[in-house]
């Protein structure tokens, strides 16, 4: 992970565990004449825009590859998660060229089944579905999933401020923008001990999305969670806590609460909710991979709230994805 609170996965996860953030004044000003707060990644040079996205992605992928020296990039598909094409201020105008430039930056070539997944927040869930297909149907031993994104772009911030979604001096119900790069390696589960296993995946579409005027019933997220639970082969009673992409807006807290309440049939003393964006800011398509990394670190270091976790993500246009994770010592049919 390359985030505003750490330039590696261990550093980032340690900061998030301690609830440390790096929210500082940016070079952008809101309509009230105050500096916009953000979470910027402090790299060795003052790169901006497309170049910085490239550098963050390359650094995250290099960290992944260094931790897995047995992996052969030429035999490994790279699923690169990027922001939605509709994002205002998107600095990548050619996804395919960006992918080629990333390979050039890394001095590597990845498998021909590599692809771009420009789905914003929900990209991580979509990427895991593609990874499962690549592993089960095409026999790939590993799949590399990476993401890079930044909301610290003038046109992007202006759009979200106009929509009253940015945390500014004039608006308290909003998010703090950030930027990040992240990567992880996925492989089939063969009963190994101490593995974070994705046991279920689900998708849905919410008609009453954040820009809609329809009443919110969380139908899309409810459908995504239900599909993930069905895929995992168990009900919600096994879930111990959840982790989400919520980054400060009341809409998403309300949606998450509504969706789970429509499925929850278990009496619990507590059901914790984790949202790493509290520390790294709103980092777009990268947030899903950061969530998975935080879960893995929490399970490895035994500070998680349990072994069965619900994760869910949502886009502004209504796309929803949900994942069920299990920390296992062996003995389940992981996917």
Q: What pLDDT sits at residue 249? A: 94
For the stretch 259-294, pLDDT in tens is 999 999 898 888 999 999 999 999 999 999 999 999
- What is the rounded average pLDDT of the residues 227-255? 95
- What is the rounded average pLDDT of the residues 242-262? 95
- What is the rounded average pLDDT of the residues 322-333? 74
- What is the rounded average pLDDT of the residues 72-87? 96
**H-only helix segments in the chain:** 9-17, 49-67, 95-106, 123-137, 154-162, 219-232, 250-261, 277-280, 287-300
- What is the rounded average pLDDT of the residues 310-320? 96
- What is the rounded average pLDDT of the residues 246-263? 94
Q: What pLDDT sits at residue 329? A: 58
CATH 3.40.47.10 is right for the domain spanning 195-328: yes
Which residues have C-beta within 8 Å of that of residue 178, sequence separation ≥ 6?
Answer: 3, 4, 38, 39, 40, 150, 151, 152, 277, 280, 281, 282, 283
Record the tokens describing residue 274, joined without a space: 């984790």
> What SS3 state is found at 178?
strand
CATH number listed for the domain at residues 9-187 = 3.40.47.10
- What is the rounded average pLDDT of the residues 28-38? 95
pLDDT band at 64 (very low <50, low <70, confident <90, very high): very high
Q: What percent of the chain has pLDDT over 70?
A: 98
Which residues have C-beta within 8 Å of that of residue 267, sequence separation ≥ 6?
Answer: none
Distance of CA 49 to the CA centre of its chain: 20
Q: What pLDDT sits at residue 331? A: 41
pLDDT > 80? residue 335: no
* CB < 8 Å & 24+ apart, contacts of 19-24: 19/278, 19/279, 20/279, 21/278, 21/279, 21/280, 21/281, 22/279, 23/176, 23/281
Q: What pLDDT sits at residue 152? A: 97
Polymer length in residues for the chain = 335
Query: Structure pTM?
Result: 0.95
pLDDT > 70? residue 193: yes
- What is the rounded average pLDDT of the residues 170-198? 94
Record the tokens describing residue 63, joined without a space: 């960290």
> What SS3 state is found at 300?
helix
Q: What phi and psi values does residue 200 have, to the nearest 5 degrees?
A: -155, 145
pLDDT > 60? residue 330: no
pLDDT averaged over every residue in the chain? 94
pLDDT > 80? residue 185: yes
Domain boundaries, the chain: 9-187, 195-328
- What is the rounded average pLDDT of the residues 303-320? 96
pLDDT > 70? residue 202: yes
For the stretch 104-163, pLDDT in tens is 999 999 999 999 999 999 999 999 999 999 999 999 999 999 999 999 999 999 999 999
pLDDT > 60? residue 314: yes
């Amino acid at each position: 992970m390359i985030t505003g609170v750490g330039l590696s996965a261990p550093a980032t996860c340690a900061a998030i565990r301690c609830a440390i953030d790096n929210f500082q004044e940016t070079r952008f000003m809101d309509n009230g004449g105050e500096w916009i707060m953000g979470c910027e990644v402090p790299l060795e040079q003052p790169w901006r825009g497309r170049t910085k996205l490239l550098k963050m992605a390359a650094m995250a992928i290099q960290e992944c590859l260094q931790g897995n020296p047995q992996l052969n990039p030429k035999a490994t598909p790279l699923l690169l998660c990027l922001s939605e094409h509709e994002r205002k201020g998107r600095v990548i105008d050619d996804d395919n060229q960006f992918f080629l430039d990333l390979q050039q930056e890394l001095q590597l070539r990845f498998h021909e089944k590599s692809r771009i997944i420009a789905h914003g927040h929900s990209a991580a869930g979509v990427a895991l579905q593609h990874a499962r297909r690549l592993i089960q149907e095409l026999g790939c031993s590993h799949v590399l999933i990476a993401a890079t994104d930044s909301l610290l772009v003038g046109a992007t911030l202006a759009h979200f401020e106009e929509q009253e979604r940015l945390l500014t001096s004039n608006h308290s119900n909003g998010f703090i923008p950030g930027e990040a790069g992240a990567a992880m390696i996925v492989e089939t589960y063969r009963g190994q001990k101490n593995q974070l296993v994705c046991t279920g995946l689900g998708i849905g579409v919410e008609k009453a999305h954040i820009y809609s005027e329809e009443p919110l019933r969380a139908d899309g997220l409810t459908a995504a969670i239900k599909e993930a639970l069905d895929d995992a082969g168990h009900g919600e009673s096994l879930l111990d806590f959840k982790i989400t992409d919520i980054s400060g807006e009341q809409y998403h807290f309300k949606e998450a609460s509504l969706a789970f309440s429509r499925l929850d049939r278990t009496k619990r003393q507590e059901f914790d909710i984790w949202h790493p964006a509290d520390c790294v800011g709103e980092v777009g398509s990268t947030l899903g991979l950061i969530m998975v990394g935080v879960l893995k670190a929490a399970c490895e270091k035994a500070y998680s709230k349990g072994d069965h976790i619900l994760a869910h993500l949502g886009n502004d246009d209504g796309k929803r994805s949900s994942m069920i994770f299990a920390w296992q010592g062996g003995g389940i049919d992981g996917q």
